[in-house]
Chains A and B, each alone.
Chain A
Amino acid sequence: MPGLHPTLSLGNELNLLAAGFFLLATFGLVATRQVLDCVSVFAWQSLMLAVSAGLVASETGLTHLYAVAAITVMTKSLLIPWLLARTSSSAVVARREISQTLTVPTSLLIALGLATLAYFLAAPLEAAAPGAHVGVNLPIGLATLLIGAFTVTVRREALPQVLGILSMENGAFFAGVAIAPDLPLFAELAAAFDVLVIALVMGLLTRKLHERTGSTTVADLTELREE
Chain B
Amino acid sequence: MITSLLFNVLQVLVVLVFAPLIVGINAWLRERLQSKRGPSVFQPYFDIWKLFHKDEIVSEHSTWIFRAAPYVVFVTPLFVALLIPVLTSYPLFFAFMGDMLGGGFILALGGFFVTLAAIDTANPYGPMGASRTRMVGFLAEPVFMIVFFTVSVVAGSTIPYIVQQRWVHPIGSFFDPAHVLLLIAFFMLIIAETGRLPVDNPSGHFELAMIDESKALEYSGTGAALMKWGGAMKLFVLLSIFLNVLVAPWGLASTHRLGAVLGAVPLVLAKMIVCILALVGVESSFAKLRLFRITEFLQAAFVVSVAALLIRLMES
**A interface residue numbers (CB < 8 A to B):** 1-2, 4-6, 8, 10, 13-14, 16-17, 19-21, 23-24, 27, 31, 104-105, 108-109, 111-112, 115-116, 119, 135-136, 139-140
Nearest chain B CB to A146 CB, angstrom units: 13
The 25 listed contacts between A and B (C-beta, < 8 Å) are A2-B155, A4-B316, A14-B175, A16-B176, A17-B175, A17-B177, A19-B311, A20-B181, A20-B307, A21-B177, A24-B307, A31-B303, A104-B296, A104-B299, A105-B295, A105-B299, A111-B303, A112-B302, A112-B303, A116-B310, A119-B310, A135-B314, A136-B315, A139-B310, A140-B314
Nearest chain B CB to A119 CB, angstrom units: 6
Q: CB-CB < 8 A to B300: which residues of A?
A: 27, 31, 108
User: Chain B 10-43, CB within 8 Å of chain A: the 1/0 string?
Assistant: 0000000000000000000000000000000000
When C-beta atoms are compared, the residue in chain B nearest to A104 turns out to be: B296
A115-B316 contact given A2-B155, A10-B172, A105-B296, CB 8 Å threshold? no
Per DSSP, chain B at the interface is helix
B304 at the A/B interface (Cβ < 8 Å)? yes
Kindly state the interface size class of chain B when it binds its partner: 20 to 34
Nearest chain B CB to A30 CB, angstrom units: 9
Q: CB-CB < 8 A to A24: which residues of B?
A: 181, 304, 307
A5-B303 contact given A105-B296, A119-B310, CB 8 Å threshold? no
Q: CB-CB < 8 A to B172: which residues of A?
A: 8, 10, 13
Q: Is the CB of B306 within 8 A of A1?
A: no
Q: Is the CB of A8 within 8 A of B315?
A: yes
Bound state CA distance, A105 and B177, in angstroms? 23
A19-B306 contact given A31-B296, A104-B296, A105-B295, CB 8 Å threshold? no
Q: Is the CB of A16 within 8 A of B316?
A: no
When C-beta atoms are compared, the residue in chain B nearest to A21 turns out to be: B177
Taking A31-B300, A108-B296 as given, write out 9 further A-B residue pairs in contact, using a Cβ cutoff of 8 Å, ordered by the A residue number.
Answer: A2-B166, A5-B316, A13-B173, A16-B315, A17-B176, A21-B177, A27-B300, A136-B315, A139-B314
B313 at the A/B interface (Cβ < 8 Å)? yes
Q: Is the CB of A115 within 8 A of B307?
A: yes
Q: CB-CB < 8 A to A119: which residues of B?
A: 310, 313-314
B180 at the A/B interface (Cβ < 8 Å)? yes
Q: CB-CB < 8 A to A27: which residues of B?
A: 300, 303-304, 307
B156 at the A/B interface (Cβ < 8 Å)? yes
When C-beta atoms are compared, the residue in chain B nearest to A30 turns out to be: B303
Nearest chain B CB to A4 CB, angstrom units: 5
Q: Is the CB of A23 within 8 A of B311?
A: yes
Q: Is the CB of A19 within 8 A of B299?
A: no
Bound state CA distance, A77 and B168, in angstroms? 33
Q: CB-CB < 8 A to B308: which residues of A?
A: 20
Q: CB-CB < 8 A to B299: which residues of A?
A: 31, 104-105, 108-109
Q: CB-CB < 8 A to A23: which residues of B?
A: 307, 310-311
Q: CB-CB < 8 A to A112: which residues of B?
A: 302-303, 306
Q: Is the CB of B295 within 8 A of A135?
A: no
Q: CB-CB < 8 A to B302: which residues of A?
A: 108, 112
Nearest chain B CB to A72 CB, angstrom units: 20
When C-beta atoms are compared, the residue in chain A nearest to B169 turns out to be: A2
Q: CB-CB < 8 A to A14: which residues of B?
A: 175
Bound state CA distance, A190 and B157, in angstroms? 50
Nearest chain A CB to B9 CB, angstrom units: 30
Nearest chain A CB to B301 CB, angstrom units: 11
Bound state CA distance, A16 and B180, in angstroms? 11
Q: CB-CB < 8 A to A111: which residues of B?
A: 303
Nearest chain A CB to B232 CB, angstrom units: 32
Nearest chain B CB to A40 CB, angstrom units: 16
